[in-house]
Chains A and B, each alone.
Chain A
Amino acid sequence: MIEVESLRKAYGDLVAVDRVSFRARPGEIYGLLGPNGAGKSTIIGCISGLLKPDAGTVRVLERDVIAAGLESRRSLGVVPQELALYEDISAVENMRYWGGAYGLRGEALTRRTDEVLTRVGLDDRGREPVKTFSGGMKRRLNFACGVIHNPKVLLLDEPTVGVDPQSRVRLLDLVREEAKRGACVLYTTHYMEEAESLCDRLGVIDHGRLIAEGSLAELHEQLGERDLLRLSGRFDPERVRSALGEALAATGAWELVQSEDELIVLSLPQASSRLSRIFQALTDSGAEVRETTLTRPNLESLFIKLTGKELRE
C-alpha cells in the first residue's frame, strides 16, 4: 500500500507538489492524471526516496520512505519515464544487473530473467545489445527491469511515452497482470484513454495539487451528465458571454468553461438539442465559428471542467 499525506515539495519558489494526499491499495491501479509539469514525477520521486519531501509523509507498506528508506525501497519496483537502460550491453545483462540490485541471485535470478523476458516478448532478443532495439522494445525492457523482483508496490512514471500502439497495448496488459497478482500500482500518465481504460481509481493533478480523486464512476458523478461543446473561430468574449446568457437562460445548468478570442468551451446538458440557439446567439454577438466539437462526458470533460483547460501533452 502507498499512503501519501499532505505531501509538499518545492524547488525554490516553485511549489511542485502542494499538500497532496492519497492512498493506493494492493491489487489496485491508481492513476495520477495530469499534464506535463503538474507534479506527477515529483510525487513518484518522493515515494521512491529520490526526493526528500519538504512536508508531509509518504509510507510504502507502512514504512516511512525517509526513516526506513532502504526497507521501503526493497518492496518497490520503479519504471521510470526515461529508458533507464544500459544500451551497450544486452537485455539479459541489464535485467540481471537490476535484478541483482534487488537481491536476486543465482538460479532465482536466471529464472526470473527468462520469465520476465518471455512475458514482455523479448526472449528471442535477450542476448542482443539494447541499442539495437526499437523504441517499443526498449520500453518493454524498461518495464521488465522494474518488475523482475516481483515488487509489492510498482511505480510507473508515464511508461508508454513515445510507444507504438502495439507495444502500448502490450504494456498496459502487463500492468494489469501486475495488479492481478496483487501488486499496488501507481501509474502516472497524461493520456486520458489510458487512464480511463487502465486505472481503478484516479487522482487528477494540476499545478501540484490534487483537484479530484475517485473511481471513474465517482468522477463522472462529479462531472454530471453534461456535454462539452468546443467552438473555435473568432469571438468577442464579453459579447459571447452576454449573448449566450440570454439564449440559454432557460437551460439553467450551463457553464462557460473557457472563453478566449479564438476558442470557447461550453458545458451544458443535452447540448445537441440546443445547438441552433447557441449558433444564433453567437452570430448575433458578431462571432465567426469555424469548427465545432461536441463531446460526451469523459475524463477530458472533467479535466477541462476542473482546470479550465485541456490536458495538453
Chain B
Amino acid sequence: MFVLRTALNEIRRRLADPFAFALWLGIPITMFGMIYLAFDGLSGGGEAPTAELLVVDEDESTLSGLLVTALAAGGDFGSPVVAREVGPDEGRSLIENGKGTALLIIPAAFGDDLLAAQPTGLELVTNPTQSVLPQMVEESLRLLVDAAFYVERIFGDQIGRILDAGETAGGQPSDAEVAEISILINQTMRRLDSLLFPPVIELEVVRGDQEPGDEADGPGFVDIFFPAILFMALFFMAAGFSEDIWVEKHQGTLRRALATPNRPAAFLAGKLLGAAALIGVVCLAALLGAKYLLGAAVENLWLAFVWALVSGALFLLFLLALQLHATSQRAGGMLINLIMLPLLILGGTFFPFEVMPESLARIGSFTPNGWALIQLFDIVGGEIDPARLGIGLGALALAGALLFVIASRRMAGAFVRS
C-alpha cells in the first residue's frame, strides 16, 4: 500500500510542476524538430537540398556542350547538383547577388586544348553565403574533370576524328568514317573489357515483405529518428527523476520516510512506480504520435510501448544508482552527464546508427541503451525474434533487480546518513 501511496505522491508532485516535466520533453522534441526542418521534413518528401550550378559556356564546342549536358542531367539522376546554362553577364550578376550556388565558366578553346592534351582550366566562382552546397558542386565538378581526362586518354583519337570528320564534311561524317571509328572504339573497349567490367554479379536487396523487383522505399526520416528521439526523451526524464533523490534528501523527506514503519525498498519502489507511470504516458503518446501524426511505421505498438517503458525505467534505476553513489548533488549531476552523454552519442540516440560510421555504430550497439534501441527498432519494424526478445527481457529484469537492490541499500545506508 505504501508503494502505491508513494507512487501517487510522486505523480502528484510531478504534475504540480508541469514546467519541469515539459522541459525534459522539450529538449528532445526541439532537437527532433530542428533535424526534421533541416532535412525539409515538412515538405513530406524528406528530400536532400540541391545545389544550383550556373554555367557560362564561352567555348561552345562539342566537348564543352557535353560537359554542360552532363552537369545539367545531374539532377535527373539524383545528383545534388543541378546545372543551368546562363550568359556571362547574367551569371556574374546572379552570383554577385547571392543567387545560385556556384558559377562555372568554361573558357574559349577548352575543347581544343583538351583534345590536344594541352593544359586547360575551368573557373568556378562559389557563393560565399553558402557553405556546404558549394563544396558539393566542387566535388561533383572534380569528378567530371577526372572523367573527362580519362575519356580523352582512352578515346582521344576517336573523338578527334569524329570532330575532324564533322568539320571537313559540312558537319556530317561519312558512313565509312563512322564505321571505321566504330571499329576503333569497339577494339579499344575489348582491350579494356577485363579492366572495366568485373564479373556480372548483381545484388538485389529485397525486404522480407517485398517481391524481388519491387521498389524498396527504405526507412524514412521519421522511422530512423523517432526511436532515437524517444530514447533521448527517456534519458532526459530519467536524469531528472533520478536527481529528485537529492531533493528528498535535502528537504528531509527521505529521512522522514525511512523513519516510518515501511521498508526502504517500498519507498524506492513507489518512487520508481510513479516515475515509470509518467514515463509510460510519454512513451505511449510518442508512439501514437509517431504512428498516427507523423506516419512512422510502428508495428507491434503495445510491445514497443512495453519495451520503451521498461527501458526508460531501467535508465532511471541506472542513473539513480549513480546518483546514490555520488558525494553531492553537483557531483551526481556531473557523473550523470559524464556517463550519459557518451552513451547517448555512441548508443544511436543523438545520431541514429544509420548515419554513424560503421565502426562507431558497431561499438554503440554494445552499449546498454544502444542495444535496447536496436531491439526497439526491430520491434517497431516488425522484425521480432521471440527468442532474442525473451532473452532481452530476462536480461533487463535481471539488471533491474540488481540495480534496485544496490540503489535501495545505498539509499537507506550511506546516502541518507552522509
Bound Cα distance from A287 to B9, whole angstroms = 65
A101 contacts which chain B residues (CB < 8 A)?
A: 2, 5, 257, 260-262
- B409 an interface residue at 8 Å Cβ cutoff? no
Q: Number of contacting residues on B, CB 8 A?
A: 24
B416 contacts which chain A residues (CB < 8 A)?
A: 50
B263 contacts which chain A residues (CB < 8 A)?
A: 70
- B253 an interface residue at 8 Å Cβ cutoff? yes
- B121 an interface residue at 8 Å Cβ cutoff? no
Binds B, one of A72-80, A188-196, A276-284: A72-80
Partner of A51, one of B6, B16, B253, B417: B417
Bound Cα distance from A73 to B259, whole angstroms = 7
Task: Name A's B-contacting residues (CB within 8 A).
Answer: 45, 48-51, 70-71, 73-74, 76, 78, 80-89, 93, 97-98, 100-103, 105, 129, 145
Bound Cα distance from A51 to B417, whole angstroms = 7
Partner of B255, one of A82, A86, A100, A102: A82
CB-CB contacts below 8 Å: B149-197 with A: none
Bound Cα distance from A103 to B2, whole angstroms = 8
Indicate the member of A71, A73, A88 with the most B CB atoms within 10 Å.
Answer: A88
When C-beta atoms are compared, the residue in chain B nearest to A87 turns out to be B251
Bound Cα distance from A70 to B266, whole angstroms = 13
CB distance from B261 to the nearest CB of A (A): 4
Given A71-B261, A88-B13, A93-B12, also A50-B1 (CB < 8 A): no
B223-256 CB contact bits vs A (8 Å, 1 = yes)? 0000000000000000000000000001111011
A85 contacts which chain B residues (CB < 8 A)?
A: 251, 253
Q: A45-B417, A105-B1 are in contact. List 9 more A-B contacts (CB 8 A).
A: A49-B258, A50-B259, A73-B260, A82-B255, A88-B13, A89-B12, A89-B13, A98-B260, A101-B260
Bound Cα distance from A70 to B258, whole angstroms = 10
B interface: dominant SS: helix
When C-beta atoms are compared, the residue in chain B nearest to A129 turns out to be B16
B1-38 CB contact bits vs A (8 Å, 1 = yes)? 11001100100110011000000000000000000000
Partner of A78, one of B5, B256, B262: B256
Bound Cα distance from A105 to B5, whole angstroms = 11
Task: Name B's A-contacting residues (CB within 8 A).
Answer: 1-2, 5-6, 9, 12-13, 16-17, 250-253, 255-263, 416-417
CB distance from A10 to the nearest CB of B (A): 12
Bound Cα distance from A85 to B16, whole angstroms = 14
Is the beta-carbon distance between A84 and B253 smaller than 8 angstroms? yes
Is the beta-carbon distance between A84 and B17 smaller than 8 angstroms? no
Partner of A48, one of B1, B2, B12, B259: B259
Bound Cα distance from A256 to B272, whole angstroms = 61
A-B contact pairs, 15 of them (CB 8 A): A50-B258, A51-B417, A73-B260, A78-B259, A80-B259, A81-B252, A82-B251, A83-B251, A84-B255, A85-B253, A86-B9, A88-B12, A89-B13, A100-B1, A103-B261
Bound Cα distance from A74 to B1, whole angstroms = 15
Is the beta-carbon distance between B17 and A70 smaller than 8 angstroms? no
B17 contacts which chain A residues (CB < 8 A)?
A: 88
Bound Cα distance from A103 to B261, whole angstroms = 9
A89 contacts which chain B residues (CB < 8 A)?
A: 9, 12-13, 16
Bound Cα distance from A76 to B12, whole angstroms = 27
Bound Cα distance from A254 to B367, whole angstroms = 76
A73 contacts which chain B residues (CB < 8 A)?
A: 259-261
Is the beta-carbon distance between A50 and B12 smaller than 8 angstroms? no
Q: Which 7 pairs, one residue from A and one from B, show the smallest C-beta to C-beta distance?
A: A82-B252, A84-B252, A88-B16, A84-B256, A101-B260, A74-B261, A48-B259
Is the beta-carbon distance between B253 and A86 smaller than 8 angstroms? yes
CB distance from B214 to the nearest CB of A (A): 55
CB distance from B229 to the nearest CB of A (A): 28
CB distance from B25 to the nearest CB of A (A): 18
Bound Cα distance from A101 to B416, whole angstroms = 19
B12 contacts which chain A residues (CB < 8 A)?
A: 88-89, 93
CB distance from A271 to the nearest CB of B (A): 44
CB distance from A311 to the nearest CB of B (A): 24
CB distance from A9 to the nearest CB of B (A): 10
When C-beta atoms are compared, the residue in chain A nearest to B267 turns out to be A101
CB distance from A173 to the nearest CB of B (A): 23
Partner of B5, one of A82, A100, A129: A100
Bound Cα distance from A74 to B250, whole angstroms = 24
Indicate the member of A49, A85, A89, A100 with the most B CB atoms within 10 Å.
Answer: A100
Bound Cα distance from A86 to B13, whole angstroms = 8
CB distance from B416 to the nearest CB of A (A): 7
CB distance from A177 to the nearest CB of B (A): 21
CB distance from B197 to the nearest CB of A (A): 73
When C-beta atoms are compared, the residue in chain B nearest to A88 turns out to be B16
